[in-house]
Amino acid sequence: MGKRFDPGVQVGVVIVGAGPAGLVLGNLLLDRGIDCVILERRGREAVEGRARAGFLAAHSVRVLTQHGLADGLLARGHTHRTCLFRSEHGEFTLDYGELGRGEVHTVYPQQELVRDLLAEYLRRGGEIRFDTEVEEISEGGRVRTSDGTDVTGRYVAGCDGHRGVARATMTAHGTRTARWDHGVSWLAVLVEAPPSMEAVGYALHERGFAGHMARTATVTRYYLQCPRGTDPADWSADRIWAELETRFRVDEFGMLKDGPVLEKAVVDLRSDVLDAPGDGRLWLAGDAAGLISPSAAKGANLAVLQAERLAQALVSALKHADESDLARYAADCLPRVWRAHEFSHWMSGLLHGPSAEDTENTVDARARYGRALQYARLDSLRTSRAHQDFFAENYTGI
In the set 80, 162, 264, 345, the catalytic residue is 80
In the set 109, 195, 277, 294, the catalytic residue is 294
pTM attached to this predicted model: 0.92
Active site residue 319: no
- Do 116 and 73 touch, CB atoms closer than 8 A? yes
Question: For residue 9, what pLDDT band results from cuts at 50, 70 and 90?
Answer: low
Active site residue 202: yes
Active site residue 294: yes
DSSP state of 342: H
Active site residue 395: yes
User: Over the stretch 305-339, which tens digit does the pLDDT of each residue have?
Assistant: 999 999 999 999 999 999 999 999 999 999 999 99
- Candidate CATH numbers 3.30.1360.30, 3.30.9.10, 3.20.10.10, 1.10.10.60; the one for domain 182-270: 3.30.9.10
Distance CA 85, CA 31 (A): 43
What DSSP line would sit under 28-90, residue for residue? HHHHTT--EEEE-SS-HHHHHH-----EE-HHHHHHHHHTT--HHHHHH-EEE-EEEEEETTE
pLDDT at 370: 86
User: Over the stretch 106-149, which tens digit does the pLDDT of each residue have?
Assistant: 999 889 999 999 999 999 999 999 999 999 999 889 999 988 88
* CA distance readout (Å), 236 to 232, 239, 309, 369: 8, 5, 44, 33
In the set 96, 108, 121, 202, the catalytic residue is 202
- What is the average pLDDT value for the chain, to the nearest integer? 92
In the set 162, 212, 298, 345, the catalytic residue is 298
* CA distance readout (Å), 223 to 79, 186, 248, 263, 357: 21, 6, 11, 12, 19
Tell the CATH superfamily of the 11-54+109-176+275-345 domain: FAD/NAD(P)-binding domain (3.50.50.60)
Distance, C-alpha 360 to centroid of its chain: 33
Mean pLDDT of the 161-184 span: 94
Distance CA 115, CA 110 (A): 9
A 10 A CB-CB count for 139 gives 11
Write down the domain spans for the chain. 11-54+109-176+275-345, 182-270
Instruction: Report whether pLDDT(33) > 70.
Output: yes
Amino acid at 260: P
pLDDT at 298: 93
Q: Where are the alpha helices (DSSP H) in 321-364?
A: 324-327, 329-351, 356-359
Instruction: Report whether pLDDT(4) > 90.
Output: no
- Of the candidates 110, 69, 106, the one whose C-alpha atom is nearest the C-alpha of residue 300 is 110
11-54+109-176+275-345 against 182-270: fold identical? no
